[in-house]
Amino acid sequence: MAIGERIRFIRNLRGMTQKWLGQAVGFPQKTADIRMAQYESGSRTPKEDLVKALANVLEVSPLALRIPDIDSDLGFIHTLFAVEDIYGVRAEKQGDEVHIVFDGSKRTLDESIFKMLSAWADQSDKLRKGEISKDQYDRWRYTFPAEDTTQLWAKVPSQELSDMLVDAFKKKLK
């Protein structure tokens, strides 16, 4: 989720209008809603000082607004928080383990994503049971979906081929 989408999501969660939020961070009343709409649509990207001001007004960490850097601990956890917002996942503790739960019965989780996660879980289970090697598991992950046999995947033709086929079809109809 891009920064504009995060701003809109949290603003709506807080029950704020674009105009109110824009004025709260210092934009003139006349243009506050327009400026916020530009940031939320992604046509403008807020500079760091504005991100901090927005975070302050929205009462969140600036990390909750930025596109997270998954290579950092804080970026990774904020990525998971965004996944929770988008797909309705949750974290559960079971003994000494923490599990990220993707509930397939939730309306917020797209069925195709649930199938992909299920395929991943199946491959991970095979690795744990010794049915496949680490190399086979890594090959499956890093070439996904090419070697996934749990779903039907179709290759999409290039735009050039698609245009050529459409033109040929149009000529045939004439």
**CA torsion angle 164 165 171 174 (round to 10):** -150
Note whether residue 132 is domain-resident: yes
Q: Is the pTM of this model over 0.85?
A: no
For residue 90, count CB atoms less than 10 angstroms from its CB and return exposed for 0-12, middle for 13-18, buried for 19 or more: exposed
> How high is the pLDDT of residue 139?
87
pLDDT at 133: 93
Kind and range of the H or E element at 98? Answer: strand 97-101
- Report residue 152's pLDDT band, with 50, 70 and 90 as the boundaries: low
- Residue 102 placed within a domain: no
User: For the chain, percent helix, then strand, then coil, each to nearest 5?
Assistant: 60, 5, 35
67-81 confidence digits (pLDDT tens): 878 888 998 988 888
Counted domains in the chain: 2
Assess whether 169 and 116 both reside in one domain: yes
CATH of the domain at 62: 1.10.260.40
Q: For 87-142, write each residue's pLDDT tens digit.
A: 778 899 999 999 988 876 665 556 777 788 888 889 999 999 999 999 999 888 88
Question: What is the predicted pLDDT for the residue at 109?
Answer: 59
Which domain covers residue 164, as residue numbers? 110-174
Least confident of 60-64, 82-86, 88-92: 82-86
Asked if the structure places residue 80 within a domain, the reply is no
Q: Above 60 in pLDDT, residue 159?
A: yes
Residue 87 within any structural domain of the chain: no
Is there a domain that residue 89 lies in? Answer: no
What Cα–Cα distance (Å) separates residue 39 from each residue in 3, 14, 109? 8, 17, 27
95 falls within a domain? no
What's the DSSP call for residue 101? E
Question: Is there a domain that residue 172 lies in?
Answer: yes
What confidence tens digit (pLDDT) does each residue in 4-59 have?
A: 999 999 999 999 999 999 999 999 999 999 999 999 999 999 999 999 999 999 99
Q: Residue 51 falls within a domain, yes or no?
A: yes
Instruction: Tell me which residue has tokens 């975070």.
Output: 55
